[in-house]
Amino acid sequence: MKSLKQMSVLVTGGGSGIGAGTARYLVERGARVTICGRREDRLVRVAESLGDTCNAVPGDVTLSKDRERIVQKAITHGDGLHGLVNNAGNMYRGALGTLQEEELLKLFHGNVVAGLMLAALCEDALALTAGAVVFLGSIHNRRAFPGASPYAATKGAIEALTRSLAAELGAKRIRVNCVAPGAVFTELNQRAGLLDDEGAFARLQGMADLHALGRIGEVEEVAEAISYFLMAEWVTGTVLEVDGGLALGLTEV
């Protein structure tokens, strides 16, 4: 198993939630991390709290010029690249009849297309280090939430492309895996304008009993799984559920 020490990792969407938690987890274990996101203030705050080994690069992963700049900065900061964590993502929910085509395309652009394009940009650098790509899937592929078809569809696509890319990049010794988290309190719903902080927290807490382990998750618990995939040298094309048993579909009758 590889060590996280001196590992160079690009974490997209590192200004909040699971991305920020992952950056912290990696930096605390000696990795050199580059985080990106659109809100500069959030990124800078995270990077400043982590010190010099965390590099903040503002940018939008749906823009090709930004992607190129972000990847170059990550390679320079880390003196190469060992890992790409395609964590940036957005939520879009609504009843079928209310869905807007433009919003659906935007969602797929950010949640699916951007990660694929980033993986392509990182391919040569990752081949040099026998590196890893980690995607973020979701419990939405195991449990069905009414009104969440757009988001679930993007996460289904991510699971599918994880397997195809693993098959394609294995010859270059690049591993590709996916972490599928359950309910973790972050800004995802609030940024989409669906709920405020209080409402989002209450909604997730309301799901606690659906978990075999009786509680929602913490960002660090997802970061642990992401880190495992960065280190594990003989694991590729897999999806790891990190969800406190939510996917089990706990049924008490």
Ligand X SMILES: NC(=O)c1ccc[n+]([C@@H]2O[C@H](COP(=O)([O-])OP(=O)(O)OC[C@H]3O[C@@H](n4cnc5c(N)ncnc54)[C@H](OP(=O)(O)O)[C@@H]3O)[C@@H](O)[C@H]2O)c1
Verify binding: residue 34, ligand X, rule CB under 6 A.
no
Report, in Å, the least distance between residue 253 CB and ligand X. 27
What's the half-sphere exposure (Cβ side, CA atoms, 13 Å) at 118?
37
- Member of 8, 12, 34, 177 binding ligand X (CB under 6 A): 12
Residue 136 tokens read as: 């973020």
Both tokens of 39, joined, read 């809100």
166 near ligand X, rule: CB under 6 A: no
Q: Which is nearer to ligand X, 8 or 186 (CB)?
A: 186
Query: What is the x/- site pattern for ligand X, positions 61-90, by CB under 6 A?
Result: xx------------------------xxxx
Q: Which is nearer to ligand X, 159 or 187 (CB)?
A: 187
Using CB under 6 A as the binding rule, whether residue 149 contacts ligand X is answered as: no
Of 11, 136, 231, 246, the one binding ligand X (CB under 6 A) is 136
User: What is the rounded distance in angstroms from the CA atom of residue 114 to the CA atom of residue 251?
Assistant: 37
Active site residue 228: no
- Contact flag: residue 115 with ligand X (CB under 6 A): no
Number of alpha carbons in the 13 Å side-chain half-sphere of residue 136: 28
- By CB under 6 A, tell whether 119 contacts ligand X: no
Q: Which of 9, 32, 33, 42 binds ligand X (CB under 6 A)?
A: 42
Residue 94: C-alpha distances to residues 151, 192, 215, 224 (Å): 10, 11, 26, 32
Measured from the Cβ of residue 194, the count of other Cβ atoms closer than 10 Å reads: 16
Contact assessment for residue 104 and residue 55, using Cβ atoms and an 8 Å cutoff: no
Tell whether residue 138 is a contact of ligand X (CB under 6 A). yes
Q: Contact 229/175 with Cβ under 8 angstroms?
A: yes
Residue 117, interface with ligand X (CB under 6 A)? Answer: no
How far apart (Å, rounded) are the C-alpha atoms in residues 32 and 229?
16
Which residues in the 14-33 window bind ligand X by CB under 6 A? 15-19
| Alpha-carbon distances, residue 174 vs 139, 185, 230, 245 (angstroms) | 25, 31, 10, 29
**Residue 181, interface with ligand X (CB under 6 A)?**
yes
Q: How many residues can be counted in the chain?
A: 253
Catalytic residue among 25, 92, 151, 228: 151
CB of 188 to ligand X, least distance (A): 4
The residues annotated with a catalytic role in the active site are 151
Residues that bind ligand X in the complex, under the rule CB under 6 A: 12-13, 15-19, 36-39, 42, 60-62, 87-90, 110, 136, 138-139, 181, 183-184, 186-188, 191
